[in-house]
Homo-oligomer: A and B are copies of this chain.
Amino acid sequence: MPSIIQEKLDQAAAILDEHNVDVWLTFVRETVLTPDPALDLIAGMEMVWQSAFIVTREGSHYAIVGKHDRENIERLGAYREVTGYVEGIRNELVRVLMALNPQTIALNYSENDVAADGLSHGLMKLLSRYLQDTGLDERFVSAEAIISALRGRKSPQELERIRQAVKTTEGIFEQVGAQIKPGQTEAAIGAFVHDLINEKRLGTAWDYDYCPTVSCGPDSPVGHAGPSPDYAVTPGTLVHMDFGVKENGFCADLQRVWYIRREGEDDAPEEVRAAFNAARLALTTGFDALKPGVHGWQIDEAARQTLIDTGYPAYEFAFGHHVGRMAHDGATVLGPRWERYGQTPYGVIEAGNVFAIELGVFVENYGYIGLEENVLVTEKGAEWLSTPQESLWLV
């Protein structure tokens, strides 16, 4: 079986050819401080000194790295030529690029897609200076389309790992639900989840302090706020949690919502159930629209319009985002054509893409209903990776 790095490098060469680009150059340094998200796809480790990874449309791969990183890159067995340097990368980089003499060199910058924007402005200036006498600095293009396709088309091993992360995350949601009780603070629920993941040596899909986020009742701020000691589980209100593990390098990103019954209540009040059903209908409408060839914004519009048509205000975020190595895995966004999304809603959905789809409705006096599921796009349409929440979970 090829390694997961080899899987991605093989995909990369094919994508370069598809986009008629000769060379893709990933140029990084001290990636612990300033990571390039693309490096994870093609090397899967941190680099210390200035390092260059070159992939050609013919499928040749070159790495030029600091002497002490050479051994680790060689061990990958995925690069045809690995060179280690001591004093500076310039000579070797110029030599390899001049020999390839590419007409186009794709670099990792993008105004739109953060996952394709790993090249820092300082490194861009440095690279331009290194190549200024060669004419190669005039052949730079953005690698946005290449990285977007490479990151978005999940390989078999990538998909397998995402499935596992979803499964683990769902298990943790179940454990949370089994012990929720009135009086418990958001902070206590957050600590319960952290204990579980630390015990299992798992990571979180995003910033540890805000993963999970927990919102109890109508007064707790929804969003990226950390679980607070000031809000507690209260009968007659909602508890909402947004959470995902990072397991074996891959993430899940799910939301679930509980209703805490008052004494004597069998079910949630009508207005809460109605809001849940509206959110659920909008989510499944977006799910049904999700298939190869459609633009990201069209999916968002389908879900958004459904919610508005049922009389609820539209959510202030994108309906969906890729999920994979990161919870927000770059590339095409299933979002509205707003300034802050740049060109990302105009991307085209492809088979092999994995998305988190989500939306929410705030119910006055009760709290926030947020739904989020993870789905795979196939040639035939979308498939659930998570088991969708079909009704409020009652406590």
Contacts and interface: CB of A to CB of B under 8 A. Distances in A.
A340 interface: yes
Contact of A88 (B33, B86, B201, B339): B339
9 contacts: A34-B36, A46-B206, A48-B224, A71-B221, A88-B340, A90-B339, A112-B122, A121-B121, A121-B124
Contact of A338 (B87, B129, B206, B221): B87
Contact of A33 (B37, B46, B72, B225): B37
Nearest to A90: B339
Interface in A213-248: 221-226
Contact of A72 (B72, B110, B206, B226): B226
Given A49-B340, A67-B316, A118 B72 contact: no
A68 interface: yes
A4 B159 CA distance: 41
A117 B120 contact: yes
Contacts of A30: 114, 328
A109 interface: yes
Interface string A327-352: 11010000000111010000000000
Contact of A29 (B36, B114, B210): B114
A45 B226 CA distance: 11
A89 interface: yes
Contacts of A117: 34, 120-123
Given A49-B340, A316-B67, A326 B32 contact: yes
B69 A33 contact: no
Interface string A100-130: 0000000101111111111111111110010
A364 interface: no
A354 B370 CA distance: 46
Given A32-B326, A109-B120, A340 B50 contact: yes
A179 interface: no
Contact of A206 (B32, B50, B67, B86): B32
Contact of A223 (B68, B110, B124): B68
A226 B221 CA distance: 44
A330 to B, nearest CB: 7
A51 to B, nearest CB: 11
A88 B48 contact: no
A109 B88 contact: no
A207 interface: yes
A114 B34 contact: yes
A89 B342 CA distance: 12
A238 to B, nearest CB: 18
Contact of A32 (B112, B119, B207, B226): B207
Interface string A45-59: 110111000000000
Contacts of A69: 223-224
Nearest to A329: B33
A338 B68 CA distance: 17
